[in-house]
A and B are shown apart, each in its own frame.
Chain A
Amino acid sequence: MSSAGRYEMLFTPLELGPVLVKNRSVFSAHLTNYAEDGMPSAQHVAYYEARARGGAGLIITEEHSTHPTDWPYEKLIHGFNPAVLPGYRAITDAVHRHGTPIFAQINHNGGQASGLYSRLAVWAPSPVADPLFREVPKAVDLAEIAEIVESYADVAARCIEGGFDGVELQCSHSSIVRGFLSPATNKRTDAYGGSLENRARLLMEIIEAVRSAIGPGVALGVRLCGDELIDGGTTLDEAVAVAIMVEATGRVDYINTSIGVATASLFMVEASMAVKPGYSLFIPSAIRAEVDLPVVAVGRFKDPLQADRALTEGHCDLVGMVRAQIADPDFMIKARSEHADDIRLCLSCNQECVGRMGLNRWLGCIENPRTGRESEPVALRPGPPRDVLVVGAGPAGLQAALAAARHGHRVSVVEASDEPGGQVRLAARVPGRAEFGDLVRNQLSELALLGVTVKTGTWVDATYVADHAPDVVVVATGSTPASPWWAPGEPDPTHPLLCDVRHVLDGTASPSGRVLVVDEMGFHHATSVAEVLADRGCDVEVASPSLVVGQDLGITLDMEQWWIRASAKGITQRSSALVTGLIPGGVSLQNVLTGEASEAFYDAVVLAIPADAADGLFHELVATGVEAHRVGDALAPRRAHSAVLDGEHVGLAL
């Protein structure tokens, strides 16, 4: 057992009631949107199996709905439908092949839902509309409460029949049980409302019914919210009190934790890199101090050292690591074999995992094109190894090099600037965005393992290609800042200084005084640079023709934090504002809603606008008959995930 090496606590086995877990990492419950028409899919099977194979100690699946009144998002698993059973068995068989236990999370989302899919009224303790779904629920009567309890027991029994080793009750961030526990949503005056004992009555009844249904041979866990972060909601004291009540039933084997409410304070449930790692550790720590049951911690656990320390310091008994294992399914194997540096670290960027959940799309990962695609074979082009020249070491070029090298091609990467990384390197220079740089760090570290070197400071042109005569060229030369339509031609000295966000980040431009940042990208570009400039003492305004500045920041749960920081830094925001031209000392603007024209005065204007593809080399090569492929911004300037996907697709097809 001492083979655990550096992370001794992380690799110390633990008993969760009747279930032995071989290490303390939990791939805990999270939405995947892999279900189809309420049924578990092949996508689920391969996804969970990959994490089992990669060494996860325990897997807890996404929630299974207990009742037809609960259908808040399209791709929810309908645990209440007996037809799920074959899907359950497929998942549990696959995970058990690797000796890994797997639990099913069961839930009824209560009022945190709408009738959009179910075409039924939603059920909740009281007619208090959820702030996200905005639908007034039906306050359940006693017969309906009994129906809910029975539905939990039925679905729990079905899960065990389907091969799960345990069941977890989600009572934490989106649940009718949470709804009853929380004074913010439970306004009842009967035996299920008022005192904490009354508000916890539904939970106690469900625990009793579920344990009776599943028997003693499998595990039962309860996931509680430690702080809802909403007015009048559950706070830590009550959460600890409920944990004590749960333990006192003698029917439960572990307690899992969470922070925030999925629909009111989601940005803290699945925090982005703007929130520090371990931010919610105070919750398991407080609960563990009062109960003897094993307690699970969650919240931005990114590397094995951090997880091991939380365990060693006694904050928790298990560590939930979801995004870490989404990015790298082999996280635990690599940690155990003393190759922690090889782990593809999660960036906590939330772009393709969390960000796709809110948009009803299947879960992926910005840096792992296989996430969500584990059930599909890798489409390799058959043929002998080839000499591949990759021009450009941004995320697209590096991914193309990785995909090609993994499959036996002889790859060389040449980069014009002095460092690899492309725009990712710039993006990571912004305060609070450093973790984004791990995207390139991870790619470079895997390339090093594959023996691929990156030659920097070398400009590649057609002559270089002719001299080196590779079999194929991947052009990943990125993009260059564009000129806006409203400022053509040579700069006028009476006009404000005009530059691109990239010029600010790479130091070639240093705007000062009153600065306007023009946001036509709707993501981090404008807001990041606004913060950099504000930190340098500039008086900054961000303008966007959209209804909201940085409109997509909400998708990655970065909007709240952006507003808080912008407000603290004195950055102002002007929406529905289209810049239409430069004037002496400022810009002309048009309000896109009213059509009203105006002028505003700035010392500098910084542009976050779509870039121009740097595709000259590509066209030159194609014209001379060289086999060349474009990837990333050289194809069309887009976000990092598109660059990674292009690189992967082209690298595999060589």
Chain B
Amino acid sequence: MVLTDPLGLGLATLPSRVVFGPHATNLGRRRGFSAAHATYYARRAEGGAGLIVTETASVHESDWPTECSPLAERSGEGWALIADACHRAGSVVIASLGHAGSQGSSSYSQGPLWAPSRVPEVNSHEVPLSIGDAEVNALIAGFRSAAQLAREAGLDGVEINAGQSSLLRQFASGLTNQRHDRYGEDRMLLTRQVIEAVREEIGDAIVGLRFCADELAPWAGITPETAVSLSTEFAETVDYLAVVRGSIYSAAATQPDLHEAPGFNIGITRSISEALKAVRGAAAPAVCLQGSIVDPTMAEQQVLEGVCDLVEMTRAQIADPDLVAKVRRGDASRVRPCLLCNQRCVVSDPRNPIVSCVVNPSAGHETADAHHDPDRSVAHVDAVPALVIGGGVAGMEAARSLARRGHDTRLVEASGRLGGTLLDAMEIPGRSRLGLLLGWLAAELDHEGVTVEMNRHIGVGDLEAFNGPVVAAIGAMDAPTTLRDGDDGSVVMLSAADVIAGRSSVADGEGAVVILDPIGGPIGVGVAEILAGDGPVALVTPDLIVGSQLAMSGDLVAANARLAGRGVEIVAHSEVVAVRNGAATIQDRYTGAMREIQTRGIVDAGHRLPRTTDLAEAEGLVFVGDAVAPRSIYEAILEGRRVSSDAVTQHHALEALR
């Protein structure tokens, strides 16, 4: 495949055309890169990534956008570790350099934000400082010295960030640049000056540009039409352009979740490729396609069609670091799929979560998880027969991991289908992509030789004859709906899971369907989307907004828009406290005020409970996933992996006692 073929870029040769793009990781400490960073990038290098771009380092101390974001002047040591680790695996590795400008934070720097003009960022509302010549010069000097430091550390070059979150884009855009000086008259001037300075400093080393080609704000922003001509300004000076979209009004658009179909930048990227080739022919800079590209087949096709020369597959390689290696050896179908769920990989959040992945929890935790990452450690020691009870995500990963370690593994599922709760979750509108994980896990169980037995219930009595580690991955069950002030039974109560999966439905009749959503995640919103077509729907949330927990994945505003567009009534900061005579009594959490809504059905989208079981009485059994406490795919996979070593250890310990 051409995707896995080498490509010359500047003086370097990339071992493949697949890019691991710059993204926040929260692996940094004290504004530098850490050893954990090196391990994280090296893992992708070992898997065949062609070009690795380290996370954006600030080129000036005025920029401290998130607590763990690196500062270039403190990054030399960390970059050197990363360069060494990635070069050993054969990848080319460069540093992303930038300044977040008004999209940063003053919380850490304790000083004003920098910007072309005093236009506040829409969420922080913070008015930035309109910078003068002194600051502009300091910024250019910052890019220059950061590039020099990156080269001294052994990196192969730099990528200049003029993408979604950058001061350079703020200068380039009419949305944020309202200056009357030369930087206002020629909004690309600053970007050109930065590139010139960097090029002068590092010569023939790689200089790339992350370039915003659509701010999705046509009234004043960069549009695809203007971007094509703007891009040619860099035809002579950069080695590649990475084409992205998004601005202060569309932060989530750069790395959208699974609601948006992959490949949304293909059109604009093709136009830019063509424009650059028209200007410079074969000497044109390479073009990198970005935008939810997670499928190797799609990536290959775009390269073949001339849309791009490089493909950024960042989330795909977080999910499966061995993506390139698998594609190269003809095993593309065995690439663990990225679900585009954004639940663990989008980490620009003040809590500083470490970058990770629901389908690959070892991402970001490469060192801590080394001993139970089934894709790394396949030690065949003391093979024993192993039994996994329950064929949901946790059970499937447990069985896969046990089998990878050489244990003779049997997976037993009580129902007729593998998948457990995920079978329901993938039925939520816009979330069918979650099902890719099930297909992959099932195929891997087959590859690893796991014996899968369906429609078989295992009780504690069945275990007496079994001598080997036993994993209980029996999942969760619906919790009873309890209302503080009582329920006279006049309204039908349904579980969200049953409604989503179509196992039960709300009868026609008078009044609204009332959804109880104490969580604020995808489930309550999803139930509302399913039901919104058939009569009035009211979603009751304890929060001020619906879907409060969707902020991290980038679906918060979109989810609110979907529900608003479909006429779902949001009953905010409230709780259903009783049901009487066909009506739900709803109390305002703040004022205590009560109101009633005529109701034809109540759907409980609340927390679930671990499934009750007599297996708890069995000795030496290890519970994983929702059977311990109902949580997400992440914990199911993580505990499924851990158990592959823990359950065997525990089994041997018990054996020793006997």
A: residues with CB less than 8 A from B are 36-37, 73-74, 115-117, 119, 121-122, 127, 129, 131, 134-138, 231-232, 356, 359-361, 520-523, 545-548, 552, 554, 559-560, 563-564, 567-568, 576, 591, 593-594, 610-613, 635-638, 642, 645-646, 649
Contact = CB atoms under 8 A, between A and B. Distances in A.
A142 to B, nearest CB: 12
A559 B544 contact: yes
A594 B126 contact: no
Given A361-B350, A642-B106, A645-B111, A136 B629 contact: yes
Contact of A636 (B112, B123, B590, B631): B112
Nearest to A649: B111
B275 interface: no
Given A116-B351, A361-B108, A545-B122, 19 more contacts: A36-B29, A121-B631, A127-B629, A129-B518, A131-B518, A134-B607, A136-B609, A136-B630, A361-B107, A522-B125, A548-B544, A548-B545, A564-B591, A610-B125, A612-B118, A635-B112, A636-B112, A638-B106, A642-B106
A521 B125 contact: yes
B141 interface: no
Contacts of A521: 125
A593 B557 contact: yes
B606 to A, nearest CB: 8
Nearest to B631: A135
Closest 6 A-B residue pairs measured CB to CB?
Answer: A563-B590, A593-B561, A593-B564, A129-B607, A636-B129, A138-B629
A361 B106 CA distance: 11
B629 A134 contact: no
Interface string B115-133: 0001010110111111000
Max count, chain B CB within 10 A of own CB: residue among A73, A121, A552, A554 = A121
Max count, chain B CB within 10 A of own CB: residue among A37, A568, A610 = A610
Given A522-B125, A559-B544, A560-B590, A593 B352 contact: no
A24 B216 CA distance: 60
B520 A638 contact: no
Contacts of B484: 231-232
Nearest to A612: B118
Contacts of B556: 547
A638 B126 contact: yes
B610 to A, nearest CB: 7
Contacts of B461: none
Nearest to B624: A121
Contacts, number: 127
Interface string B617-629: 0000000000011
Contact of A361 (B67, B125, B521, B607): B67
B542 interface: yes
B629 A636 contact: no
Interface residues of B, number: 55
A70 to B, nearest CB: 15
A568 B592 CA distance: 11
B112 A136 contact: no
B590 A567 contact: yes
A360 B638 CA distance: 25
Contacts of B519: 129, 134
A372 to B, nearest CB: 10
10 contacts: A134-B520, A136-B609, A136-B630, A361-B350, A547-B560, A593-B564, A610-B127, A612-B118, A636-B129, A642-B112
Contact of A119 (B125, B351, B365): B365
Contact of A359 (B112, B350, B361, B588): B350
Contacts of B545: 547-548
A545 B591 CA distance: 24
Given A136-B630, A520-B125, A594 B564 contact: yes
Contact of A563 (B518, B573, B610): B573
B565 interface: yes
Nearest to A124: B629
Nearest to B476: A136
Contacts of B607: 127, 129, 134, 136
A545 B127 CA distance: 17
Interface in B459-509: 484
Contact of B128 (A548, A554, A636): A636
Contacts of A612: 118
Contacts of B351: 73-74, 116, 360
B542 A131 contact: yes
B634 to A, nearest CB: 9
Contacts of B630: 136
Contact of A356 (B107, B126, B588, B638): B107
Nearest to A637: B127
B156 interface: no
A23 to B, nearest CB: 33
B118 A636 contact: yes
Interface string B45-59: 000000000000000
B112 A638 contact: yes
B353 interface: yes
Contacts of A567: 588, 590-591, 593
A137 B626 CA distance: 10
B565 A594 contact: yes
A590 to B, nearest CB: 12
Nearest to A123: B629
Contacts of A649: 111
B612 to A, nearest CB: 11
A593 B560 contact: yes
Nearest to A519: B125
B455 to A, nearest CB: 28
Contacts of A564: 590-591
Contacts of B561: 593-594
Given A119-B361, A134-B549, A638-B126, A359 B107 contact: yes
